[in-house]
Every structure is written in structure tokens, then in C-alpha cells.
Amino acid sequence: MRDDIKRPANQWIELLAEKELPAITSIASLLDKFENDDSSSIPQLSKAILHDQALSSTLLKVVNTSQYASIRKVTTVSRAAIVLGIQSVKNICLTSKILEGLLQAENLSPHVYDRLLMLMANAFYAGLLARMMVPDYSDDTQEEVYLAAMLYHIGETSFWSTGSELTDELIKQVHLPAAEFEQQCLDIIGVRFQTLSIGLAKTWNLGELLIKSLDQPHSRAVEMQSISLANRLSAAIYSPDGNRAELDKVLQDIATIMKLNRRQLTERIEQTRLLAIKLLGSYGASVLEEHIKPLPKSIDFKHYDNPAHTLRVSPEKALLLTLQELTRLTMAGTPINELLSAAVHHIAKITDFSSCAFWILSSDKSKIESRLRCDNHGQIDSFRRALSLHQTINLISLVIDKDIPILVTDVTLPKWRNYVTAEMEQFIGKGSITIAPVKIGTKIIGVISGLLSQHGRKISDEQFSQFCFIIEHLNMCLMISSHKA
């Protein structure tokens, strides 16, 4: 079954469960044979786990983390099942196989890989946060809440792990608002991610609570609220830009459920974050640790709370004005060079990049050369630079070959290793960069780059989203302009 075509939900679920993630399907089927409340099945469960040496080793590592510090060191699988209960052991095994299976995904473009890691980290953190919210419930209920929260977005996470051509197509749309992105999912892959999550939950028999939380997201039951709030919180922590009101609302709702004040809740969340990092190490998923971030501080909202920005014009208003200006210029028959100049000028000012530049692709596609550059004050300079694309792979060739925008906040990350040449490293320095293709119709004529050169500052997801949105509109304007010429 090809994995690069639009298909109905049942075919997607079969593809993901049987072809892409067979190890998860196998362990889920194995664990389902053992009842959570049947202590007589502990010997059989232990024997089954011991057949997988790596899994049994991971289980013991996880059990002996600080989460179970009050327990003496556990040295056997059967002892772990007796002390923790069958449900806890099953969840640890399932979590291990899910992390392992997703991290083994191959042939992912850097942008898809980055989104996969983000979703995996957010999901794992959400599971622990949800369990944190129900401390007075039974151990089995806490485990159900953990699993449901962790797998709430398993449909989307599984999709990105496929590495199919559709992932490269859909990744271009992730900057869109949620409703628009969901529509793009339907148009491109033929199914909603929530439908995939429900289907996989049923295929793997992951429990009624997960299915109910997906079917009834607005339920007032504390368990269901905890699942939803935990996922909203982990997402808001990961990407705080523009989400201050959302974060405050989520924290207030959690504090109400747990009957804690803000300081007490903050302490609990930090304890859970540290636990998440330790557990990821035990699970052999240390690559996710850097994605488990602390609660944002005031400085993390600086770009959006800066009075200077508010007095000048809001980012949303500035974005709208830019789109209107590009549209007006297009309708007036403005030359393409002037459209490009206007776009670069507005992007630099709106996003507060150190510089924004248009690079034109040579006719033989052997090199790309900067034609104009603008700083964040709107000043255009005579910056000239050429980068070779001949028989070399770099960040710009990646953007052109894949026809996708990219955001590079750290050139030292493994996913960028093959794309950061000496030329690119010299150009970016200690900063971060975003690059997007500029097209007339389907023909790529160059790229626009946004550079934030200050050491310690990174281009935010919100800045990247604005950058991509303007360039998408610019590309539409360029196509219209070419037809008018």
C-alpha cells in the first residue's frame, strides 16, 4: 500500500498500525492479554516482557527513577509488577515502544523531524502533567489519565513519522490557524488527525478514557478536563509567543481543579518537568529532553508585550497592512522587483529580524545571489553575496529542492548537520535563520531569508508563521503580476 496518496481513514489507520508502527501494534496486542486487576497473570506478563531484553531493561530503569523514590530498588520485572501494579507496568512498556517506534522514523525532512520531536515531547509531558492533576484518584485511574493525555494527538504524531511525500506537502501548512490547518489535512491526506487518533486507540485497545476524551473534548469530568488541559499546557509552554492569555487561562483552570494557588501549582509543574527529563533518559529518548521547557517567564513574552510595539501597531495589524499593500501594488501593475523590495522591507520591520534578504536563483541553478537586503528599521543596503548550489547540499538547496520554508534556531542540531556548510555557518554565525521559496506559479525564482543575528535570541514560531504567511501572499501576487505583464 503506497503511503504517499490521499486515502480514507480506515486505510490510513491500517497503514500506520501495520506498516509504519508494527512494534507498537505488537506490544499493544501482547499487553491486552493481561487484565489490570488479575494478579495471577503477573508471572505470565513478566515472562512475556523478559522475552524482550531491551524492554525489560528500560522497564527497570524507569521504575527506579525518582518517581518511585520511596520504593526500594526494583531488580526484577515481576517485582515491578507486584509493587506498581499491572496497569503501570503495561503503560511503561507501551510508552517505551511508542517512543522507540516514532524515533526510528527515517527519511524525514528537517522540518518534519522537528515537528515530530515537538509533538512527542509535548505528548509525553502532557501525560505526566495530566497525572499530576489527579493525585487523589486511584493508581489505575492516574495511569489511564496519563496514557490518554500522552496519546491524545497520536494520529498526527504517527502521520509525521511516515516520511511520505504527503508529510513534505502538509508541513508547509502548519503555520495556519487550527481550523484552516484541519481543512488542509482533509484536502491533502483525506482525513482529520483526530479521526486517526480514535482509530489507532481502538486498534491498539488503549482504553475507553482516551476514546471518550477525543469524542467528548468538552466534558466536565475532572479526568477529561485534565487530559485536555495537560495538552493545552504543554503546547503553550513549548510555544509561548502570543499565548500569554491562553497560558494564564489554562493555569487558572488547573489551579481550580487541584485547589492550589499559583505558586504551589508552579512548583508542582516544575517538579513534573524535572521528572519528565529524568524519565526520558531512562526511556532512551534523551533527544526529547531539550523540548521539555520550563514555564515561560515575562521575558519570553517580551516581543508581544513591548509597549513600543503596542504604541506603533499590533503585529496582527501590521501583517494585515502588509498584505493589503502587496495586493494594492499588484493590482496597480507594479514591477516584480518593486514587489520583492516591498515584501523584504515589510518582513524585516514586522518580524524584527536583524535583516531580511531576497536571493535570486541563477538560470542554471548553480548558485544563488542576494539582490537586496533590509534591516529591522526598514533601511535597504547594498549587501551582495553569492552562495554556490553546484554539487553541494545546504540549507538553501534544501528549501529549493523540497519547496518548503525552514526555521533553523540552532545550526549545531543533528538534523541540520548535513545542510550547514562552512559558507552557511559563516553567514548565520551564532544567530538563527528562516528561509522560504519565492515562486512565480510553480517555478522557484529564489528565496527570502530572515536572519536574527543576536546571540541568545531565536526566531520564534510566531515570527516564522508571519514570515511564511507574507511570502505565501507574495508568491500569489507574483503569479498575478506575471499574468498581467
Please tell me whether residues 245 and 332 are part of one structural domain. Answer: no
Distance between CA atoms of 376 and 350, rounded to whole angstroms?
A: 8
pLDDT given for residue 301 in this prediction: 61
How many Å from the N-terminal Cα to the C-terminal Cα in the chain?
45
The answer to whether the beta carbons of residues 187 and 172 sit under 8 Å apart is no
424 and 371 fall within a common domain: yes
Which CATH number characterizes residue 139's domain? 1.10.3210.10
Same domain, 248 and 344: no
pLDDT at 147: 95
The answer to whether position 355 is within a domain reads yes
Is there a domain that residue 343 lies in?
yes
Judge if 288 and 345 occupy the same domain. no
Distance CA 20, CA 31 (A): 20
For residue 100, being part of any structural domain is answered with yes
Question: What distances in angstroms separate CA 72 from CA 66, 122, 279, one per listed residue?
Answer: 11, 30, 18
331 and 281 belong to one structural domain: no
Residue range 108-144, pLDDT digits in tens: 888 889 899 999 999 999 999 999 999 999 988 999 9
Tell me the residue range of the domain where 416 lies: 311-484
User: Within this chain, do residues 247 and 321 fall inside the same structural domain, yes or no?
Assistant: no
The segment with the largest mean pLDDT, out of 10-19, 305-314, 389-398, is: 10-19
Q: Within 13 Å of residue 1, how many CA atoms lie on the same side as its CB?
A: 16
pTM: 0.68
**HSE toward the beta carbon, residue 370, CA cutoff 13 A:** 19
Do residues 373 and 449 both lie within one domain?
yes
CA 171 from centre of chain: 10
Task: Please name the residue ranges forming H helices in 259-333.
Answer: 262-282, 302-305, 307-312, 315-331
Please tell me the predicted confidence (pLDDT) of residue 71.
Answer: 59
In a domain, 4, yes or no: no
> Would 456 be classed as within a structural domain?
yes
Structural domain includes residue 1: no
H/E segment holding residue 408: strand 406-408
Domain ends where: 246, 277, 298? 298
Residue type, 171: I
In a domain, 78, yes or no: yes
Residues 6 or more apart whose Cβ sits within 8 Å of residue 363: none
User: Looking at the structure, do residues 265 and 348 belong to the same domain, yes or no?
Assistant: no
Please give the helix or strand (H or E) that residue 451 lies within, else none.
Answer: strand 443-452
Number of domains into which the chain is organized? 2
Among 315, 288, 326, 133, which residue's Cα sits nearest to residue 222? 133
CA 40 from chain centre, in angstroms, equals 42
259 shares its domain with 342: no
Burial 61-88 (b: 16+ CB within 10 A, else e): bbbbeebbeeeeebeebbbbbeebbbbb
User: Same domain for 267 and 384?
Assistant: no
345 and 196 within one domain: no
| Domain termination site, one of 277, 298, 319 | 298
CATH classification at residue 424: 3.30.450.40
pLDDT tens figures, 376-428: 766 666 567 888 887 788 899 999 999 999 999 988 888 898 898 888 888 88
Domain assignment of residue 304, yes or no: no
The answer to whether residues 212 and 224 touch, using CB atoms and an 8 Å cutoff, is: yes
Indicate the residue among 298, 332, 355 that finishes a domain: 298
Say if residues 276 and 248 touch (Cβ distance below 8 Å).
no
Cell numbers found for residue 216: 467528548
If asked whether residues 221 and 345 sit together in one domain, one would say no
pLDDT tens string 146-185: 999 999 999 999 999 998 889 988 988 887 888 889 999 9
Look-up: residue for cell 533527544? 287
Residue 1 has pLDDT above 50, yes or no: no
